């Protein structure tokens, strides 16, 4: 597509070369007289164009960390920078995809994709072609005027992905977007997402509790320990892109998944280290 990567601006990063910089971030919730720690301390750098998954069991603080990166939750401690400036509130250069597609049921697929453009008061005609191209890219050409109730769960999430990309954000934050889908549709969405990102070259932070999903999609998999969580493993994925289902049948993929699973199992129920393990490390301190 001619306008798939319309912006040609030079890559902007933080002074240390990262797009996202997370420094000793912690989050504690206060309910009355009780303090509930969710994230003990997390530090992470994400470069432009990277796909990084936050992996761990339910309740370990993955989504909490993601919402702090999005500016929807305020850290109790530490700091988060995006493009060299602090994240203090939701920002236009961040796109978010939730577990539920959260589409407006009375609007068509096309209208849902264009909804952020209306909210941002941007010229609609300038983004109309991009909206059609995005829907075609995810296999929804011909479904532009269907309403969410006329679409399957996978189709609705494809619309949500298009909506998050329409205003060309620098980073996509995805909070278990495929967890409610059946296994076959989920696999199809993983491949579709890989193809979309090969075209649009976005930086992604992706929350999941699926080891195989994280290994298949990611450039790096970051494992979070039990609550209150910290980062216990930061592991690069050795598989070249583009990726297809066949990679999951290799011995190397199985070994990577085993190492991730053992790391999670070893950390479950134990206090995590508050320091990120070296990339590729397999020992929990």
- Could you report the per-residue pLDDT of 130-158, keeping only the tens digit for each? 999 999 988 899 999 999 999 998 899 88
The arrangement of strands across the sheet holding 229-236 comes to 85-86, 77-82, 20-31, 34-46, 229-236, 220-224, 51-55, 203-208, 171-175, 94-97
- Average confidence (pLDDT) over 20-39: 87
pLDDT of 268 > 70? The answer is no
pLDDT of 14 > 80? The answer is no
pLDDT of 279 > 60? The answer is no
- Average confidence (pLDDT) over 236-242: 91
pLDDT band at residue 284 using 50, 70 and 90 as cut-offs = very low
- Average confidence (pLDDT) over 87-111: 89
Per-residue model confidence (pLDDT) at position 204: 94
- Average confidence (pLDDT) over 226-236: 85
- Average confidence (pLDDT) over 36-46: 89
pLDDT of 277 > 80? The answer is no
Per-residue model confidence (pLDDT) at position 269: 53
pLDDT of 105 > 50? The answer is yes
- Could you report the per-residue pLDDT of 152-163, keeping only the tens digit for each? 988 998 899 899
Q: How far apart are CA 202 and CA 189, in angstroms?
A: 17
pLDDT of 56 > 90? The answer is no
pLDDT of 201 > 50? The answer is yes
The closest of 178, 190, 187 to 153, measured between CA atoms, is 178
Per-residue model confidence (pLDDT) at position 178: 85
pTM: 0.83
pLDDT of 231 > 80? The answer is yes
pLDDT band at residue 44 using 50, 70 and 90 as cut-offs = very high
Per-residue model confidence (pLDDT) at position 54: 95
Please say whether the beta carbons of 147 and 106 come within 8 A. Answer: yes
- Average confidence (pLDDT) over 271-280: 40
- Average confidence (pLDDT) over 164-188: 87
The region of weakest confidence among 33-42, 67-76, 253-262 is 33-42
pLDDT of 9 > 50? The answer is no
Per-residue model confidence (pLDDT) at position 221: 96
pLDDT of 41 > 60? The answer is yes
pLDDT of 271 > 70? The answer is no
pLDDT of 278 > 50? The answer is no
């Amino acid at each position: 597509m001619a306008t798939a990567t319309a912006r040609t601006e030079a890559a902007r990063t933080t002074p240390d070369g990262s797009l996202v910089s997370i420094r000793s971030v912690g989050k504690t919730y206060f309910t009355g007289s009780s303090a509930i720690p969710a994230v003990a301390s997390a530090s992470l750098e994400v470069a432009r164009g990277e796909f990084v998954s936050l992996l761990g069991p339910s309740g370990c603080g993955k989504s909490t960390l993601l919402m702090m990166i999005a500016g929807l939750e305020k850290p109790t401690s530490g700091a988060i920078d995006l493009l060299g400036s602090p994240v203090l509130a939701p920002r236009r250069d961040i796109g978010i995809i939730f577990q539920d597609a959260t589409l407006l049921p009375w609007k068509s697929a096309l209208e849902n994709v264009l909804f952020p453009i209306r909210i941002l008061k941007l010229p609609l005609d300038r983004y109309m072609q991009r909206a059609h191209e995005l829907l075609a890219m995810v296999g929804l050409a011909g479904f532009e005027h269907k309403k969410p109730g006329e679409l399957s769960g996978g189709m609705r999430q494809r619309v949500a992905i298009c909506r998050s990309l329409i205003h060309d954000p620098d980073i996509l934050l995805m909070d278990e977007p495929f967890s409610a889908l059946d296994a076959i549709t989920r696999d199809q969405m993983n491949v579709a997402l890989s193809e979309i990102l090969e075209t649009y070259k976005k930086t992604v932070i992706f929350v999941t509790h699926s080891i195989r999903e994280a290994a298949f999609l990611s450039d790096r998999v970051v494992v979070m320990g039990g609550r209150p969580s910290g980062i216990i493993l930061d592991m690069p994925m050795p598989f070249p892109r583009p990726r297809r289902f066949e990679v999951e049948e290799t011995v190397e993929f199985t070994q990577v998944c085993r190492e991730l699973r053992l790391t999670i199992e070893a950390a479950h129920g134990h206090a995590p280290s508050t320091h990120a393990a070296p990339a590729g490390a397999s020992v929990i301190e």
